Chains A and B, each alone.
Chain A
């Protein structure tokens, strides 16, 4: 699946998107997997209260199942307007 990062999460991880092969069942499992990779991921996902998630461009909860997700995006709370 394609994993996208925005705002300060993108800055901490250092890339806007990447292809990830995973057997994670939920978003939270995917986050754990990414955290274990490198320090920059652990830093980006250190405070999950400040992280929002979208699966295929729809907001979901952190415990949502990934299912057949093509695109998972991580970003901070939105600040439009």
Chain B
């Protein structure tokens, strides 16, 4: 289980190599990466500023990761989230989950992303030619959490 909050970029290939180094028991790895889009609706975005709550962020991510490990037979998990000013096209987040079979890895990656979106203390501010705007939370993000609490195994 690895959680990192950093300003630096990450290299997905390098991260996955580190995850699998010296192991032959992993059968499936799912990765999700999120990037800064250059448009939101009809507004152009040049830079996205990622603010967070140091201390609480790490605790929240570690809890989400531990919850995922409690629900699925995962062999390794990784969450990297960048903070600070990020240009359009830049990486924001990487989630990787490893398990013997693909289904657990797919589901766990979705679970981690769903909770990360609205339960980890990050806030996005988009800046473009029209000035800066704090990104509003979306109802769909909150709805995405519901499916993990309604039906259980």
Q: How far is the CB of B61 from chain A (nearest CB, A)?
A: 9
Interface size class of A (residues with CB under 8 A): 10 to 19
Is B2 engaged at the interface, CB distance under 8 Å to the other chain? no
Contact B134 A78 (CB under 8 A): no
Interface size class of B (residues with CB under 8 A): 20 to 34
CA distance A17 to B112 in the complex (A): 30
CA distance A38 to B79 in the complex (A): 40
Contact A81 B34 (CB under 8 A): yes
Interface of B is mostly: mixed
CA distance A18 to B137 in the complex (A): 26
Contact A7 B125 (CB under 8 A): yes
List the B residue with the shortest CB-CB distance to A81. B117
Contact B59 A78 (CB under 8 A): no
Contact A57 B137 (CB under 8 A): no
Contact A59 B123 (CB under 8 A): no
User: If A7-B51, A80-B81, A81-B34 touch, does A57 touch B56 (CB 8 Å cutoff)?
Assistant: yes
Contact A7 B117 (CB under 8 A): no
Contact A76 B117 (CB under 8 A): no
Enumerate chain A interface residues (CB-CB to B < 8 A). 4, 6-8, 54, 57-59, 73, 75-81
